[in-house]
Structure 1
Amino acid sequence: MEDRAALRTMLADHDGVFTAAQAYGCGVSDDQLRRRVVVGDWIRLARGVFRVADRPLDTRMRMRIAVLCAGPNAALAGAAAAWWHGLVNSAPTRPTVIARRGRHGSPVSGATVWHRTLDPLDVTSKNGLAVTAIPLTVLDASVDIGVRVMDSALLRNHVRLDQLIEAQKRNVGRRGSPRSRAMVAAMTSGARSEAERKAVALLRNSDVEGWVVNVPVGKYVLDFAIPEHKIAIEIDGFAFHSDAEAFQHDRERQNDLIANGWTVLRFTWHDLTGRPQWVLAQIRAAIRQATAA
């Protein structure tokens, strides 16, 4: 017999998207299920997958639909999983789902489906939906969105470095694996030094002249400088590698340099990897300003 209270709870807990098995679990019979579809209360989306008709499609519904329509053992992944876990504030317009290798079925409308077999350690359930576990989610979302996802997750203690390393080892060869491996390596070896190496490579391949590395100025040693124009270029690592004491020291150092006539430019890993031409444009602008003064 249909348990209406259980059915209402199930529908509410699953954003109005459900499987036939979940309906059966609330006492709904085959005949009752078919009747609700015929009268328009429920909409059949795929074999064994339904949604309520009286709720406008929203982001949570679309993500649930994508996972359920991808078949058994599918899981939400990438930027969509990061949003589902609360690691990022914005949801992607097109969710990504990982379906089991060898899946046979229709394409999932409105979603990107990757086919591979996930280790059980890399899958979890959140709010009744199969989602990649946080370590793998962070790795994949960092490829989709940028390294700031990894940085933020580490800084907020959503994940540990050792968990990222283990998830990377379990998922070698997946889409984006080389990029996420490089991000983890940078986190492990020291973000500031890795960022400085990228800055050197960027400057060497540019038209910026007169720059030098590790320049002593008073009681400080600048990461980079263009002494002729008194331009200091400081490289920040990931926020994950920062602390309150280091932050305060960097600000005091910057204020002292400015008081002594230096122009201080600060760039981050995100700047160097995500918008290197903008970095060069800022340096060129500082040179022009110094030359015109």
Structure 2
Amino acid sequence: MGDQAALPKMLADHDGVFTTIQAYRCGVTGDQLRHRVRSGEWIRVARGVFRAADRTLDIRMRMRLAVLQAGPGAALAGAAAAWWHALVTTEPTTVTVIAPHGRHGSRIPGCAVWHRTLDPVDVTSKDSLPVTAIPLTVLDAAVDIGVRVMDSALLRARVELDDLLAAQKRNSGRRGSPRARAMVAAMSEGARSEAERKAVALLRGSDVTGWVTNLPVGGYILDLALPEHKIDIEIDGFVYHSDAEAFQHDRERQNDLIANGWTVLRFTWHDLTTRPQWVLAQIRAAIRQAAAA
């Protein structure tokens, strides 16, 4: 039944997920395909989409099935694509697929389908599956799971900043575009200074008073501080903009300040953009502790 060499290889290469056309290319006839389905050897998941019954339905199979069910021109995207590209290690809770405009079909369980037509340069094939190329994957995943995926991809040289800028420009109208554009802008302009500006804006809009910027203390310049309570607020930029020398200097300064009675609070870009009220709560708690001392 079918090509005894081509069929097992196709199944192995595609995690046991395949289409009618792929089965036919391996020499399987229509009658043979129907027989395998009736016998329970293969499971029909959707029209023209099948999976081998002897394989546990894992995340790779789910991703392949979602892309195939979304139809021609579809590609794995977002956090799912980041996992497929090994940019992240955490499996996504939802499989995201981009399908061309005009796709009509039933809902795919556990899958979110975004509708837009991708530029060919933004699609690649990895392990025989259409996936958004790394630059667009990084942009979309950063919106879904946080800026650290962008930072990590840049740090590990999986993508260049110019590639992110180009992908953002090509896909400027997509879901999450404004947030991704802000992240790329922060990378381009210098993440630490951008993060510090966000921290200042957050404090200005809060009930926290007595803070100052650029305070000289013991040979250092504190970007943000509450001198009355001897609280130093350190804002860490993206890892991408850090280096060993800067890291060492920051830690030496922190140790010196603590030795001289200062409380040092450290916050990241992720903290400021995803949980600003938590940042303010930490600052208020430090003020209360200092006042009670």
TM-score range normalised by the length of the shorter chain: over 0.9
Residue 104 (structure 1) shift: 2.7
Where 1:192 maps in the other structure, the secondary structure is: helix
* Shift of residue 28, structure 1, vs aligned partner: 1.0
What do the CA deviations read for 1:135-178 (whole angstroms, capped 9, x no partner)?
A: 00000011111111111111111111000000001101111111
User: SS of 2:199's equivalent?
Assistant: helix
1:195 aligns to what SS in structure 2? helix
Matches within 5 A, 1:123-138: 123-138=123-138
SS of structure 2 residue aligned to 1:109: coil
TM-score (norm 1): 0.97
Looking at structure 2, the residues matched to 104 and 267 of structure 1 have their Cα atoms a distance apart, in angstroms, of 45
Displacement of 1:54 = 1.6
Partner in structure 2 of residue 173 of structure 1 = 173
Residues 247-274 of structure 1, C-alpha deviation per residue, up to 9 Å, x if partnerless?
0111111111111111111111011111
SS of 2:159's equivalent? coil
Identity score, percent: 79
Give the Cα separation in 2 of the matches to 1:144 and 1:194: 21
What residue number does 2:278 align with? 278
Q: Tell me by how many angstroms 1:5 deviates.
A: 2.4
Corresponding position of 1:259? 259
Q: Which runs of 5+ in 1 are unaligned?
A: none
Match of 1:91 in 2: 91
Cα distance in 1 for partners of 2:76, 2:186 equals 27
> Equivalent residues in 2 for 1:27-38 (5 A)?
27-38=27-38
Match in the other structure for 1:187: 187
Q: Within 1, Cα distance between the matches of 2:116 and 2:225?
A: 48
Q: CA deviation at 1:9?
A: 1.3
Q: Which residue of 1 aligns with 2:237?
A: 237
In structure 2, list runs of 5 or more residues that go unmatched.
none
Measured against aligned partners, the alpha-carbon deviations of 1:96-153 in whole angstroms (never above 9, x if no partner) come to 1111111233232321111111111000111111100000000001111111111111
Q: Could you tell me how far 1:205 is from its partner in structure 2?
A: 1.2
Distance 2:73 2:161 in 1: 27
- Counterpart code for 2:27: G
Letter in 2 for 1:158: R
Letter in 2 for 1:165: L
Shift of 1:219: 1.1
Superposed counterparts of 1:154-233, under 5 Å: 154-233=154-233
Correspondence for 1:49: 49
User: For the residues of structure 2 that align with 1:109 and 1:285, how far apart are their CA atoms?
Assistant: 44
AA aligned opposite 2:262:
W
Alignment deviations for residues 206-235 of structure 1 (CA, whole Å, 9 cap, x no partner): 111110011011211001111111111111
Alignment-derived partner of residue 145 in structure 1: 145
Q: Which amino acid aligns with 2:147?
A: V
Q: Tell me the residue number matched to 1:103.
A: 103
For 2:139, the aligned partner's letter is: L
- Note if 1:269 corresponds to 2:258: no
Q: Please, what TM-score do these two structures have when normalized by structure 2?
A: 0.97
String of CA shifts for 1:167-213, please: whole Å, max 9, x gaps: 00110111111110111011101111110111011111111111001
What secondary structure does 1:4 align onto? coil
In 2: Cα distance, 1:98 partner to 1:282 partner: 40
Match of 2:5, SS? helix
The residue aligned with 1:287 is 287
Aligned pair count reads 293
Q: Which residue of 1 aligns with 2:246?
A: 246
CA-CA distance at 1:284 after TM superposition: 1.2
The aligned amino acid for 2:37 is V
1:3 partner SS: coil
Residue matched to 2:69: 69
Counterpart-to-counterpart distance in 2, 1:100 and 1:29: 30
- 3-state SS of 2:97 partner: strand
Match for residue 60 of structure 1? 60
